[in-house]
Amino acid sequence: MPELVFFSGTMDCGKSTLALQIEHNRSARGLVGMIFTRDDRAGEGKLSSRLGLVTDAVEAMSGMDLYAYVVGRMSQGDRVDYLIVDEAQFLASEQIDQMARIVDDLDLDVFAFGITTDFRTKLFPGSQRLIELADRIEALQVEALCWCGARATHNARTLGGEMVVEGEQVVVGDVNPPAAEVAYEVLCRRHHRRRVTSAAARASALSPDVLPVDSA
């Protein structure tokens, strides 16, 4: 039976790499997929991995009806055997509903990839809806690590090198940017809660065992 599968994890845990691997494996068996993405680091209409792999994709713009788009392409004679949707956390809730309809009405597998929570530890609307609707939720097996060596579970946004917990939910950035004011870092819950980024730790000469005392 076709499924809606949500592959989730923090930033820097290999989601886009896995999406590209699934595309490679299925296309090598003669299947034809349709790839969607939103706000990829490589630019509009691209699905890219931090390993340097990149492929063309359909940009899932705000207000776009994914079900109608797929039906339209199939009506024109295009073959579609499955869908890959990267950066699914940025999609609207109704677009996730459309993905579920693609599975149920068109009998196509849909593989969605995305992070679950934002820099404020709040669920993205797209991720929340995927958790509610997905047939399966798969946690990525490649664990990203906090600067202290613990498993990273939270995404932190930095502005000018300082961690911030307020602002718009979606601001495109990346981990380890060459030179950008807005950047992201993955942290364990303890260091996210205490706002101790790798830069802050270096500046304070902290070790994982020497931590600020909670004020509350």
CA distances (Å), origin 126, targets 97, 146, 162, 171: 10, 25, 27, 15
Distance CA 122, CA 157 (A): 13
Distance CA 125, CA 131 (A): 10
- Other CB atoms within 10 Å distance of the CB of residue 17: 18
The amino acid sitting at 158 is T
DSSP-derived 3-state class of residue 115: coil
- The 3-class secondary structure across 129-178, one letter per residue, is HHHHHCCEEEECCCCCECCCCCECCEEEEEECCEEECCCCCCCCCCECCC
CA atoms within 13 A on the CB side of 147: 22
Q: Is 138 a catalytic residue?
A: no
The amino acid sitting at 22 is I
- Other CB atoms within 10 Å distance of the CB of residue 56: 9
Q: Which residue among the candidates 87, 143, 166, 181 is catalytic per the annotation?
A: 87
Catalytic machinery residues: 87
